[in-house]
C-alpha cells in the first residue's frame, strides 16, 4: 500500500478522474494554500508513487487522473513531445558560443 503525506492526500482528493473533468493548477493551489510551484512538486511526487496524473495543455488546460489506457497514452504523447523539444533546446545551448555569438549575427 502506498503511503501519502497529508499534503499529497489533500492534492489527490482535488484531482478529478478523467480528462473531461480536469482542473486548473491555480484552483488546487488556492484550495490547499500552496504556490503553483509547490503543487507541481506534489503532483510529481504523486506520479513517482504510481498515480497517473496528467496535464493537458492549451486553451482547456488542466490536471486530471487518467482513467483509461487511451487517456494515459495521449497524455504520455504530450510529455514525449515536450521532452524531444527540450532535448533540442539543450543541444542548441550546449553548442552556443557564449563569448562570440553576437559576432555571427548579421
pLDDT of residue 71: 93
pLDDT of residue 102: 87
- For the chain, which domains are there? 6-95 (1.10.10.10)
pTM: 0.80
pLDDT of residue 82: 87
How far apart CA 83 and CA 90 sit, in angstroms, is: 10
**Pairing assessment for the beta strands 62-65 and 53-56 based on DSSP bridges:** antiparallel
Question: Residue 105: helix, strand or coil by DSSP?
Answer: coil
How far apart CA 29 and CA 52 sit, in angstroms, is: 19
pLDDT in tens, the chain (106 residues): 889 999 999 999 999 999 998 999 999 999 999 999 999 999 999 999 999 999 988 778 899 999 999 999 998 988 898 899 999 999 999 999 999 988 888 7
Distance of CA 21 to the CA centre of its chain: 17
Amino acid at each position: 500500500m502506498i503511503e501519502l503525506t497529508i499534503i499529497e492526500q489533500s492534492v489527490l482528493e482535488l484531482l478529478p478522474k478523467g480528462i473531461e473533468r480536469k482542473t486548473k493548477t491555480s484552483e488546487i493551489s488556492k484550495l490547499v494554500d500552496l504556490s503553483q510551484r509547490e503543487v507541481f512538486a506534489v503532483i510529481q511526487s504523486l506520479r513517482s508513487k504510481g498515480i497517473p496524473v496528467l496535464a493537458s495543455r492549451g486553451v482547456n488546460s488542466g490536471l486530471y487522473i487518467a482513467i483509461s489506457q487511451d487517456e494515459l497514452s495521449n497524455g504520455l504523447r504530450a510529455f514525449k513531445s515536450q521532452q524531444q523539444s527540450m532535448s533540442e533546446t539543450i543541444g542548441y545551448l550546449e553548442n552556443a558560443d557564449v563569448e562570440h555569438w553576437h559576432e555571427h549575427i548579421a
